[in-house]
């Protein structure tokens, strides 16, 4: 049985009377497998995914066993939900193979299928890992690599320009500390991402997300 | 997409090229690959899409005709060369091992 996070439990109580259900989208591109597991559980409880942007929207349906698949499309843009012609071709090919396209958010495309024996959309695990790596690095390039450099430059400028004690106000030092925190967070994220990739290469564990942590404990 | 040169073909790639000696669309390629390999090799639509666009970028296959919702592909002359080379390589591999394998029997 899936142990729901506290916020979900509160919502759960009056869910029986509702037709729609919204949940904040907290999955990242590295959580492809976790997204699918979550959606499959929701489907088993009678909630069918409708759309996925800032919120995941579910609609009430017959409880059923269904397979979900989440893919990162190289042809899709990180920003916005626009489906390009190339992505449309990708979707067509999946639909020919029996995977129904549900919705997308940025690069993440969600497909649904009832047949349990049908082939995975990306049949090669190595390739899927590559997709995740490429997609994630492209998405977070600015916040992980460019932003910290800019901030560090800013801090350096600040440090060198503090000449007289009058200029060195507490506010300024506090601001610098705050900026430093952003840099540290980016570094932690970069390290955890690459560590995760390395670990998954040895063993195919796609699920290192917060959601599965909750579930397993 | 950056150009990647294809030196040796992977197993699914080889089967996809074999199936594209006739004009085929996505689902037909998947079925043909399964048929050719006796159900041993199967290929997902996502993997196939990535592979086809890589082949197309390298001039190994080309789009033949587009019926709404499905695009047909066919192998190019360059592609046939690549396929022949790969066939010869595999045949050579088997040939090179033959004597030793016969000794083992």
Q: Which two tokens stand for residue A57?
A: 């929207």
Per-residue confidence (pLDDT) for residue A15, from 0 to 100: 59
Q: How far apart are CA A189 and CA A195, in angstroms?
A: 10
| Alpha helices for chain A (secondary structure H) | 6-13, 32-44, 85-96, 125-141, 147-161, 170-202, 210-216
State the nearest Cα–Cα gap between A2 and chain B, in angstroms.
30
Contact across the interface for A96 and B27, Cβ inside 8 Å: yes
- Residue-wise pLDDT tens digits, A11-36: 555 556 678 888 888 888 888 888 89
- Residue-wise pLDDT tens digits, B25-49: 888 999 999 999 998 988 999 999 9
Q: How many residues can be counted in chain B?
A: 105
Residues of B whose CB is below 8 A from A94: 45-46
The model's pTM: 0.77
- Residue-wise pLDDT tens digits, A92-143: 999 988 999 999 988 899 999 998 888 889 888 778 888 888 888 888 888 8
Sequence-distant (6+) residues with CB within 8 A of A2 are A41, A215
Mean pLDDT of A159-183: 76
- Residue-wise pLDDT tens digits, A193-213: 888 777 666 544 444 444 544
Q: How far apart are CA A212 and CA A35, in angstroms?
A: 10
Q: How many CB pairs under 8 A join A and B?
A: 58
Q: How far apart are CA B15 and CA B21, in angstroms?
A: 10
CB count within 10 Å of CB A205 equals: 11
Q: Which of B16, B46, B53, B56 to probe the A interface (max A CBs under 10 A)?
A: B46
A118: closest chain B residue by CA: B44
Q: Who among A86, A96, A127 is closest to B45 (CB)? A: A96
Work out whether strand A100-105 and strand A108-113 pair parallel, antiparallel, or are unpaired: antiparallel
Residues of B whose CB is below 8 A from A89: 49, 71
């Amino acid at each position: 049985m899936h142990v729901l996070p506290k916020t979900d439990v509160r919502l759960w109580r009056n869910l029986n009377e509702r037709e729609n259900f919204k949940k904040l989208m907290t999955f990242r591109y590295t959580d492809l497998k976790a997204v699918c597991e979550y959606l499959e559980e929701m489907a088993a409880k009678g909630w069918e995914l409708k759309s996925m942007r800032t919120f995941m929207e579910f609609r009430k349906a017959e409880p059923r066993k269904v397979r979900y698949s989440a893919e990162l499309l190289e042809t899709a843009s990180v920003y916005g939900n626009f489906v390009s012609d190339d992505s449309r071709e990708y979707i067509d090919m999946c639909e020919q193979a029996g995977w129904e396209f549900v919705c997308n958010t940025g690069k993440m495309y969600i497909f649904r299928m009832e047949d349990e024996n049908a082939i995975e959309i990306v049949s090669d695990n190595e390739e899927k890992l590559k997709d995740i790596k490429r997609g994630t690095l492209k998405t977070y390039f600015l916040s992980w690599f460019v932003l910290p450099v800019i901030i560090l430059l800013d801090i350096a400028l600040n440090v060198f320009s503090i000449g007289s004690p009058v200029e060195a106000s507490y506010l300024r030092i506090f601001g610098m500390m705050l900026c430093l925190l952003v840099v540290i967070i980016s570094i932690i994220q970069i390290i955890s991402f690459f560590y995760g990739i390395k670990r998954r290469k040895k063993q195919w564990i796609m699920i290192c997300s917060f959601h599965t942590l909750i579930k397993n404990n | 997409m950056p150009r990647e040169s294809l030196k040796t073909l992977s197993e699914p790639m080889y089967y996809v090229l074999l199936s594209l000696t006739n004009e085929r669309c996505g689902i037909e390629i998947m079925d043909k690959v399964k048929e050719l390999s006796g159900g041993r090799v199967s290929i997902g639509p996502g993997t196939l899409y990535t592979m086809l666009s890589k082949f197309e970028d390298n001039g190994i296959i080309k789009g033949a005709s587009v019926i709404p919702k499905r695009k047909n592909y066919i192998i190019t002359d360059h592609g046939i060369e690549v396929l022949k080379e790969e066939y010869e390589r595999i045949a050579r591999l088997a040939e090179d091992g033959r004597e030793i394998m016969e000794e083992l029997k």
